[in-house]
Amino acid sequence: MIATTETKLPRLLMQLPGPKAKSVLEQDAKFMSPSFTRDYPLVAKRGRGAVVEDVDGNTFLDFAAGIAVCSTGHCHPKVVEAIQKQAAELIHMSGTDFYYEVLPQLGEKIVNTVPGSEPKKAFFTNSGTEAIEGAMKLARYATKRDKFIAFYGCFHGRTMGALSLTASKSTQRKGFGALLAGVEHIPYPNPYRCEHGHIAETCGAEILETLEHQIFKRIFDPEEVAAIVIEPIQGEGGYVSAPKFFLQELQRICRKHGIMFVVDEVQSGMGRTGKWWASEHAGIEPDILCSAKGIASGMPLGAFVARSSIMNTWKPGSHGTTFGGNPVCVAAALATMDLIEDQYKENARRMGEYLFAKMADWTKKFKIVGDVRGRGLMIGVEIVRDQRTKEEAADLRNAIVDLAFHKGLLILGAGANTVRLSPPLVIDQEQADFAVQTLETCIREIEKKA
């Protein structure tokens, strides 16, 4: 069992997976849906900070954080205390039909982090997907328009409306028939793979020109578009950051045509990039901002925040939820946001800079590393077959992720061929050093085999 003063680094006791883990894998195969994607056989039992222990007693350094969810680490004492206190007092009544004291408290806290001088209001959901669905409904309701524009590579969720915006992997959409009508996708600016040879600061100019002079003239009249939805940093798409000017110009276009500018910060928000929201780095002010994942340190909660003039357009009964804003989840979120503000937002910035400095020469050191990118503790390492051709090497990326697990480091893939680093915001320099050294070893071993 992980003690309060647990080791901060991995301890592997046996060949993985261990006997208890194998038993769980057999049960899972028998009773659980096969639709899940599991990269390696980790069977988690408990966690503390950035360390996870499996059912066989092996401990791992977690640089995945439950897909960027466990922002304050696993089982932070203050978060656990908040959950226990609230659970002993009131678990559920439904904020749709009644009132909770903690609900407006969290509403005030989260709206005050979102840029823009106009007052804002929040709606709490169970997940990021639900936040996107709510934002889509609000955009339609407020504008009386029904079209949407999203971007290739972006992931917005798996329910039918959010899935209609998602264009990350075809397998996520395959087999589900017709999705929501009136959704058009355009390219996302990727400086590493810019078709026009631009640098990071200018990549995407042609995409904006296509939007205004092709999409708006040949497909959708801008007066029919309810919203343009974008991730400021793609999550599942490979941790690709949109250039600052691109986001600013996109906002200008939205303002010009009365289109809702919806920013999906489900993965990039809650302090992960060193600011509350990744969009702050570009100085933009979204009309609607979506959040989830790290908002409640692992408890199921999401939110979308909109300018009050937008949120106030819909009437009672227009949108609701049974469990969104559950008081136990809200209590966890209040504790989480206090911790992020007081400690971990700054730590994410500082440790992100430290990691990037350590990884700055990887494209020179390794022939299969094409790009290292991101912000704060949202870092992507793109693995390629050849640096000159930039051929995607999904098999090599997968091999690196698997090998890292067997060395005690938990990471995940993103996009077709990118290794994603999204650790809890609590990591320290010793843990960062271990992650870098382990990844270097893994990349070197896989490169030799390749």
Per-residue pLDDT reduced to its tens digit, 58-115: 999 999 999 999 999 999 999 999 999 999 999 999 988 999 999 999 999 999 999 9
Query: What is the Cα–Cα distance from 298 to 317, expressed in whole angstroms?
Result: 29
* CB-neighbour burial class of residue 91 (10 A; exposed 0-12, middle 13-18, buried 19+): exposed
pLDDT at 15: 96
Query: What is the Cα–Cα distance from 62 to 116, expressed in whole angstroms?
Result: 35
Amino acid at 257: H
The model's confidence at residue 168, banded by pLDDT at 50, 70 and 90, is: confident
pLDDT at 6: 60
Per-residue pLDDT reduced to its tens digit, 316-337: 999 999 999 999 999 999 999 9
Q: What is the largest CA-CA distance in the chain?
A: 63
Per-residue pLDDT reduced to its tens digit, 256-313: 999 999 999 999 999 999 999 999 999 999 999 999 999 999 999 999 999 999 999 9
pLDDT at 3: 46
- E strand spans, 223-317: 225-230, 260-264, 288-291, 302-307
Q: What is the mean pLDDT of residues 424-436?
A: 98
Point out the least confidently predicted range of 19-28, 193-202, 311-320.
193-202
Asked whether residue 2 carries a pLDDT value surpassing 70, the answer given is: no
DSSP sequence for 388-443: TTT-B-HHHHHHHHHHHHHTTEE-EEETTTEEEE---TT--HHHHHHHHHHHHHHH
CB 132 within 8 A of CB 161: yes
